[in-house]
């Protein structure tokens, strides 16, 4: 059995395999990176690697009783803390500290995972800091964060920082399908986010689906160089982009769809699982690589104007005319 993280972040998994083999594991790590890059999963993988009783070529099996207890969150020596309502309270850190000073029940290392560590309250941060200054020797502490700069510098300086780089849409697609999403949904949504939770939320959000449908409709006409696209700005896109977040999201969609079309031209082996994407690919057949790239650069230029408080509708209409002229 190959765990998902081994596909998602193969380089980091390999790196930690080496670190553990050479017994160079540090006491504390800060895993930093965008949502969906596998920070929590790698922290859990490390716990599995340390406790698994059936290692296979240096990798945890994911199936033995020890692995199962960690995966289900019931291992007494693997303590996981996640924020409650946007903050990690001092009580959670107190519980953690109590646990930290106990010795390992089964003689092995103990693993502490604090997710979204930037959400620790000041009190919680200070408690953790006190512990880090005189750590228990058998503890491995892993903090995960999407906002490294918001972690106290005094905590950061006591941790080894591991930066998680963005993952590719194809890796996110594999992950989404492995987690049960249909290939059609997974392919479309993996272009827009690498975060499975985000993708799941979007799938069941009406306003998101309407915006996506509207943008796809508009974009399809744009690719066909059909002047009806100009009219669709209002009825399909503006009407479904109710606030600035939606408007930014609409631009992200357009940019990622162009990116998808361009990548496909260099990677013809890829199968298209989604009928909307297939329509876009067909519509783009008459456009050269150069035309697609010129259109994309127009979108990227105009996206910047959105931030300077101009009308979304005017910006998108002007953009549509420019693209149609390419
Ligand atoms: Zn195992």
Query: Has residue 276 been placed in a domain?
Result: yes
Task: Kindly list the strands in the beta sheet with 160-164, ordered across the sheet, starting from the edge strand earlier in the chain.
Answer: 78-81, 110-114, 139-145, 28-33, 160-164
Same domain (yes/no): 119, 249: no
Query: Has residue 191 been placed in a domain?
Result: no
Rounded distance from Cα 60 to ligand 1 centre (Å): 5
Contact of 187 with 272, CB cutoff 8 Å:
yes
Rounded distance from Cα 72 to ligand 1 centre (Å): 13
Same domain (yes/no): 152, 230: no
- CATH code of the domain containing 154: 3.40.50.300
Rounded distance from Cα 128 to ligand 1 centre (Å): 30
pLDDT of the residue at 107: 58
Rounded distance from Cα 6 to ligand 1 centre (Å): 15
Of the residues 139, 164, 189, which one is the last residue of a structural domain?
A: 164
H helices present in 152-274, as ranges: 153-156, 169-178, 183-190, 196-203, 206-223, 228-232, 244-266
Rounded distance from Cα 70 to ligand 1 centre (Å): 9
Same domain (yes/no): 153, 17: yes
Higher pLDDT pick, 39 / 305: 39
Same domain (yes/no): 211, 310: yes
Domain that holds residue 100: 4-164
- CATH code of the domain containing 266: 1.20.272.10
Same domain (yes/no): 125, 216: no
Rounded distance from Cα 67 to ligand 1 centre (Å): 4
Rounded distance from Cα 73 to ligand 1 centre (Å): 14
Rounded distance from Cα 49 to ligand 1 centre (Å): 8
Query: Has residue 138 been placed in a domain?
Result: yes
Q: What pLDDT digit, counting tens, does each position of 262-316 carry? A: 888 877 778 899 999 999 999 999 999 899 989 998 998 888 777 666 789 999 9
Q: What pLDDT digit, counting tens, does each position of 155-182 carry? A: 999 999 999 987 888 889 999 999 999 9
CA distance 136 to 153: 21
Same domain (yes/no): 239, 315: yes
pLDDT at 234 over 80: yes
Of the residues 134, 164, 194, which one is the last residue of a structural domain?
A: 164
Same domain (yes/no): 12, 137: yes
pLDDT at 104 over 60: no
DSSP letter string, 191-210: TT-S-HHHHHHHHT-HHHHH
CA distance 39 to 126: 23
Closest CA to 259 of 225, 213, 221, 297: 297
Rounded distance from Cα 59 to ligand 1 centre (Å): 9
Rounded distance from Cα 129 to ligand 1 centre (Å): 32
Same domain (yes/no): 134, 8: yes
Query: Which tokens go with 317?
Result: 């209409």
Averaged pLDDT, 192-202: 93
- How many domains does the chain fold into? 2
CA distance 68 to 70: 5
Rounded distance from Cα 83 to ligand 1 centre (Å): 28
Query: Has residue 195 been placed in a domain?
Result: no
Rounded distance from Cα 57 to ligand 1 centre (Å): 12
Same domain (yes/no): 14, 135: yes
Closest CA to 132 of 147, 109, 148, 153: 153
For 10, other C-beta atoms within 10 Å of its C-beta total 11
Same domain (yes/no): 16, 153: yes
Same domain (yes/no): 17, 106: yes
Of the residues 133, 148, 164, which one is the last residue of a structural domain?
A: 164
Query: Has residue 277 been placed in a domain?
Result: yes
Q: Which of 13-27, 134-148, 277-291 is predicted with the least confidence, judged by mean pLDDT? A: 134-148
Query: Has residue 22 been placed in a domain?
Result: yes
Query: Has residue 73 been placed in a domain?
Result: yes
Rounded distance from Cα 68 to ligand 1 centre (Å): 7
DSSP state of 168: P
Structure confidence at residue 108 as a pLDDT band (50, 70, 90): low
pLDDT of the residue at 121: 83
Query: Has residue 105 been placed in a domain?
Result: yes
Closest CA to 113 of 12, 44, 187: 44
Same domain (yes/no): 87, 156: yes
């Amino acid at each position: 059995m190959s765990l998902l993280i081994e596909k998602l972040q193969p380089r980091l998994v390999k790196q930690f395999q080496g670190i553990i083999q050479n017994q160079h594991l540090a006491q504390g790590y800060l895993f930093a990176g965008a949502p969906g890059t596998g920070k929590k999963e790698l922290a859990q993988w490390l716990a599995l690697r340390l406790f698994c009783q059936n290692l296979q070529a240096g990798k945890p099996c994911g199936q033995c009783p020890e692995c199962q207890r960690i995966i289900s969150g019931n291992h007494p020596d693997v303590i996981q803390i996640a924020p409650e309502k946007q903050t990690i309270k001092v009580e959670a850190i107190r519980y953690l500290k109590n646990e930290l000073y106990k010795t390992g029940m089964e003689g092995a290392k103990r693993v502490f995972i604090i997710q979204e560590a930037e959400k620790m309250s000041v009190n919680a941060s200070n408690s953790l800091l006190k512990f880090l200054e005189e750590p228990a020797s058998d503890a491995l502490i892993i903090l995960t964060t999407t906002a490294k700069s918001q972690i106290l510098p005094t905590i950061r300086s006591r941790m080894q920082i591991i930066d998680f780089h963005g993952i590719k849409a194809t890796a996110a697609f594999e992950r989404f399908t492995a987690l049960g999403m249909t290939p059609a949904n997974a392919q479309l949504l993996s272009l827009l986010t690498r975060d499975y939770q985000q993708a799941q939320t979007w799938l069941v959000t009406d306003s998101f689906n309407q915006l996506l449908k509207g943008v796809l409709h508009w974009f399809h006409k744009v690719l066909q160089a059909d002047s009806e696209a100009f009219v669709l700005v209002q009825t399909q896109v503006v009407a479904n982009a109710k606030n600035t977040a939606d408007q930014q999201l609409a631009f992200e969609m357009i940019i990622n769809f162009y990116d998808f079309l361009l990548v496909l031209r260099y990677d013809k082996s890829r199968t298209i699982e989604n009928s909307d994407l297939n329509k876009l690919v067909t519509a783009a057949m008459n456009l050269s690589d150069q035309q697609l790239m010129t259109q994309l650069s127009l979108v990227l230029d105009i996206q910047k104007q959105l931030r300077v408080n101009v009308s979304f509708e005017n910006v998108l209409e002007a953009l549509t005319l420019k693209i149609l002229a390419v």
